[in-house]
């Protein structure tokens, strides 16, 4: 299984432009992850990563209590539509292949041609505070900018202080959501004046 998966990852990486190829990242605590585009073959590891999340983490990510990933959600996640969606995963070696310890994705907001994308990010419990979330979100911002998006936004549960802190650190504005005190909207411009 491991050799087949490694072969698939190498073949996929060889087809990607160099700026999107997998890259090793050393985190604040010295651990390393590989950050790369999501693959269809990641589906079983995505399920395992979801199952390791606490109920609170699932709530913060999906904004409702979710006990399992639906097949439709999983399939959408591992089949991002080119030019409209993109997803990164952070992986580490594991027995039989890899473990996914974090992920970030964007999807186009609104109708075709919109220059705004919406993001989401998830990091495994024991990888928090390592700089992984910052690495993933910064990578996603760069990718969305390269893909022609001008704005990125997301919705964050008001109690999710770590995510709000990360958003501030990466230049997102935080605004209230009218008629919903449980949510905040984070947004930032992706195009920089030169």
DSSP for residue 148: T
151/141 Cα distance (integer angstroms): 9
Give me the pLDDT at residue 3, please: 41
- Do the beta carbons of residue 86 and residue 106 sit within 8 Å? yes
Q: Are 67 and 47 in contact (CB under 8 A)?
A: no
Q: What is the pLDDT of residue 158?
A: 92
Where residue 8 falls among pLDDT bands split at 50, 70, 90? very low
Say if residue 166's pLDDT is above 60: yes
Report the predicted TM-score, pTM, of the whole model to 2 decimal places: 0.83
**How many whole angstroms from its chain centre is CA 117?**
13
CA 89 to CA 102: how far, in whole Å? Answer: 6
* Among the ranges given (24-38, 58-72, 161-175), the one the predictor scored with the smallest mean pLDDT: 58-72
CATH of the structural domain 2-151, one choice from 3.40.30.10, 3.40.630.30, 3.10.310.10, 3.40.250.10: 3.40.630.30
Give mean pLDDT, residues 65-88. Answer: 87
* φ and ψ at residue 181, rounded to 5 degrees: -75, -10
Mean pLDDT score across all residues of the chain: 86
The tokens for 127 are 């990888």
Separation between Cα atoms, residue 170 and residue 65, nearest integer Å: 28
Radius of gyration of the chain (CA): 16
Q: What is the pLDDT of residues 89-148, one digit of tens each?
A: 999 999 989 999 999 999 999 877 789 999 999 999 999 999 999 999 999 999 999 999
Q: What single string gives the DSSP state of each residue in 147-183?
A: TT--EEEEEEETT-HHHHHHHHHTT-EEEEETTEEEE
């Amino acid at each position: 299984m491991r050799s087949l998966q490694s072969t698939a990852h190498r073949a996929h990486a060889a087809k990607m432009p160099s700026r999107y190829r997998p890259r090793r990242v050393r985190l604040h605590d010295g651990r390393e992850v590989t950050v790369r585009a999501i693959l269809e073959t990641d589906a079983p590891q995505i399920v395992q990563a979801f199952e390791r999340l606490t109920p609170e983490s699932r709530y913060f990510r999906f904004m409702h209590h979710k006990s399992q990933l639906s097949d439709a959600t999983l399939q959408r996640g591992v089949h991002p539509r080119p030019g409209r969606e993109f997803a990164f995963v952070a992986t580490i070696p594991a027995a039989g292949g890899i473990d996914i310890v974090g992920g970030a994705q964007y999807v186009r907001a609104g109708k075709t041609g919109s220059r705004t994308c919406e993001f989401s990010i998830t990091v495994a419990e024991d990888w928090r505070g390592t700089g992984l979330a910052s690495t993933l979100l910064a990578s996603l911002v760069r990718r969305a900018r390269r893909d022609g998006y001008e704005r990125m936004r997301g919705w964050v549960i008001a109690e999710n202080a770590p995510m709000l802190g990360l958003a501030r650190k990466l230049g997102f504005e935080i605004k209230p959501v009218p008629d919903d005190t449980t949510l905040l909207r984070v947004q930032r411009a992706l195009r920089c004046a030169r």
